[in-house]
Amino acid sequence: MPYRVKLSLRHLWRRQKTVTAAAAILLATFTVSMLLGLWRDRLLYATFYACCASQLDVYNAAFKIPDFLFALLVSGSLAAAFIPVFTATWLRSHRRAYALATDLILFLGLLFFSLGGLIYVFAFPLAHLLAPGFTQDQISLMARLLRLMLVGQGFFLLSSLTTGVLQARRRFIFPALAPIFYNLAIILAILLWAPSLGIEAPVLGVVIGAVGHWLIQVPALFKTGFYFTRPRLLWSPEIKKVFTLMLPRAVALVLNELAEALAIFLASALPAGSLSLFYLSQHLYAIPVRLFGITLGQAVLPSFSTLIARRRRQAFRDRFLKAFHLVFYLTSFVTVMMLVLRLQLVRLLFGSRRFPWSATIITGRLLAFLAPAILAQAGIQILVRVFYAWQDTKTTSLAAFWALVVNVLVSVLGIYYFHWGIYAIVLAISLASIFQFAILFSILTARLNHWREEAQINGVFFSRLLAINLLAGFVTWGLMHFLDSFVFDTQRVFGLFLLTSFSFLGGTLVYIILSWWFRIFDFFAPAWHRFLAKFNVF
């Protein structure tokens, strides 16, 4: 038994050598984190929506300014700039790679505390600028929550740079475990302190969770052999390269944050609770994007960077196509299931006694409008990693800019001209996401000599994928209505759970059978098809 424990611990530090292993780890841990996140949201909305919808709106809005700062400084440097440059530097010199990490931590830390101090001082006017439709009490509360959240974002900065080093060294386990501790901290804070602290309880959980998010990764960082070097700041060519790549990516993320800030700006004048339901539908829409798009994108980026650095062009093309097909295969099915079973999912996940049926209906409709964005955003996560691996962040920034233009136009016209309310905002997100995906994909295919052979492969793959998704969705819809009418009492939670589970399992079975029948697995995992055929599974 002691030997087995020692072996399992050794596996935790082990380097994940393949994309499949990295993606599997990220997928498994994110599934746990996702379930905890859903429990977190259920507790949050069950505790505050019925009694304090306006405070819940403030809580959701208060995240935006710290998130904006984080996107400007950290998100822009991690995937787009740091990992590709760190990987290329590591192949030449380990010491120079660690020096790059040291310089970046120091410089971004100083910059964060400088800008964060300004935001802390001017929290009240910034809150009023972001959400002019809020009352004076809401603005005061938002400024107070914003200042608390800034503390958490400081630890997220350290945690994200630690994640960058670990992922560049292909250690994915501890970075993937970090969000689990983050969600657990918020859940415990709501359960323990919500009766006494009110809406400030989950914010305190955010701060504690951010600290845990960083601390869980620190042992793994030093286990890789990492050490701090004497700071050189902007003197090295590597750090200059990171900042050169970081700036366009930071601009792209800032544009994305501006799009979300626009949603807050417009929704703050809508009826109380509108902003909270919008964020609730966004959390559901983000699940398949993060579950498959972001996890697979994080897994393939070090591999893309290595293949491009070594000029293995054909191997890069093959790996890209497999990742591209796999992400759409997984995401399209989950999107169809969420679209068909959206009301059942919202009722199961958030339908407590203090979450009214009218809110369930609105959230389900918002999720339906967001369904096209799920597919587009999942594809974007793979496409942008290609440009990052090429150390080209300008293209992704331009695509994000034009997506923001579409978002602004549709949002403003939808709310002020067509009077669609909160639905205009989610429709704008979907249209902007589709537009951004189209731009990136068009540029990629043009840059790779139009990929004539690959274009034929994509045509066959996506036509088959569309067919099996339509059939699986139709079976799920029919099974759901049959079980609802003749088998289960969906007025009770257990009956609703059984209906949703059996409908989902029926659709999943049809999807897998059709995938085998149409040889979909051959596009990204031919070994699976050979394995199933060997045992005559079907």
Question: CA torsion sign, 448 to 452 to 458 to 459?
Answer: positive
DSSP 438: H
Mean pLDDT of 509-535: 71
Q: Is 450 left (phi over 0), alpha (psi -120 to 50) or beta?
A: left
Task: With respect to residue 459, please indicate whether it lies within any of the assigned structural domains.
Answer: no
Would 488 be classed as within a structural domain?
no
Which one has a higher pLDDT value, 489 or 380?
Answer: 380
Residue 460: name the closest of 383, 396, 372, 519 by CA.
519
User: What end-to-end distance do the CA atoms of the chain give, in Å?
Assistant: 40
Length of the chain: 538
Dist CA 210 CA 186 (whole Å) = 10
From the centroid of its chain, how far is CA 531? Answer: 32
CA distance 72 to 57: 24
Query: Alpha helices of 268-393 — where are they, by DSSP H?
Result: 274-288, 295-309, 313-340, 342-350, 357-389
User: What pLDDT digit, counting tens, does each position of 168-195 carry?
Assistant: 776 777 777 888 889 999 999 999 999 8
Q: How sure is the predictor about 451, in pLDDT bands with cuts at 50, 70 and 90?
A: low
| CB 288 within 8 Å of CB 272 | no
Residue 515 lies in a domain: no
pTM, two decimals, is 0.74
Domain count, the chain: 1
Nearest alpha carbon to residue 284 among 325, 326, 344, 327: 344
Tell me what percent of the residues of the chain surpass a pLDDT of 90: 27
pLDDT in tens, 25-42: 666 777 788 888 888 888
- For the ranges 66-70, 270-274, 461-465, 529-533, the lowest mean pLDDT is seen at 529-533
Residue 468 counted as domain residue: no
Task: List Cβ neighbours of 430 (8 Å cut-off, separation of 6 or more).
Answer: 369, 370, 371, 372, 373, 376
Do the domain assignments include residue 39? yes
Distance separating alpha carbons of residues 382 and 34, to the nearest angstrom: 21
Residue 458 token pair: 């994509």
How many angstroms from the chain centroid is the CA of residue 380? Answer: 11
Domain membership flag for residue 121:
yes
| More confidently predicted of 407 and 9 | 407
Q: Tell me the per-residue pLDDT of 409-420, one tens digit each, with 9 for 90 and over.
A: 999 999 888 888
Decide if 510 is inside a domain.
no
Stretch 451-468: mean pLDDT? 80
CB-based contact 103:189 (threshold 8 Å): no
Question: What number is the average pLDDT over the span 270-299?
Answer: 83
- Asked if residue 535 is part of any domain, the answer here is no
* Containing structural domain, residue 375: 15-447
